[in-house]
Amino acid sequence: MVAPVPFTPEPFAQASDVLRTFCESGSAPHISLEEIPAPGRLAPWAFALNGDVDANAVPHTPSCEDEVATGRVVLLYDPSEPESWKGQFRLVTYIRAELEHELGHEALLGPVAWSWLTDALESHECNVTEVGGTTTRALSESFGTLAARPATIDLEMRASWTPVIQHPKELKSHVHAWAHLLSTVAGVPPLPEGVSAFPGRLR
């Protein structure tokens, strides 16, 4: 566990303000954003946001109160610049969305989903390094008293990258890219130029 620290360094305070301002600005009206407790084991300082995309924002999705995609982004700060980061800041995200059954078996789902991340970063002109992550298809089946529930397949994406920035304020483009990615996974139009969507991708 990373030992707690008794003060907040100015670069992290400024970076946190960037994410907090985005959360409060309404820049992504189809995403319900809130600040959440950040994990304490990944870095000396961390800040986290959670985002849910409402089903009403997605075309061809029945109106309901449930979210069609949910995600979180965590900003990590370590002034010692860990070797695996190659920088003082690191952004970590987890995104999940339910897929239609047929799409869950699409062979190209993983590479296409990963391209949504790289395209989002590029479209917002984010300078990054050490980008890595996984895409996963998670099958959920019900049995016994829950057997009537249909099987579901979720897309799960875990990714992280190091922002190459001169000032913490430059993180604004990165958090916008994250919201862009969450919207794309949820199927919220418009999709980025050159990005192909899977028709009927979400349940």
pLDDT above 60 (res 201): no
Return phi, psi of residue 142, to 5°: -110, 150
**Structural domain contains residue 201:** no
Token couple for 173? 């483009």
Could you tell me the residue range of the domain that residue 55 belongs to?
A: 10-186
**Structural domain contains residue 109:** yes
**Structural domain contains residue 120:** yes
Token couple for 135? 């895409």
Structure confidence at residue 65 (pLDDT): 47
**Structural domain contains residue 181:** yes
Domain tally for the chain?
1
**Structural domain contains residue 99:** yes
**Structural domain contains residue 145:** yes
- Tens digit of pLDDT for each residue in 112-131? 899 999 999 999 999 999 99
Find the mean pLDDT for residues 35-52.
Answer: 95
**Structural domain contains residue 1:** no
**Structural domain contains residue 196:** no
Structure confidence at residue 108 (pLDDT): 80
- Tens digit of pLDDT for each residue in 126-175? 999 999 999 998 888 888 888 888 878 889 999 999 999 999 999 999 99
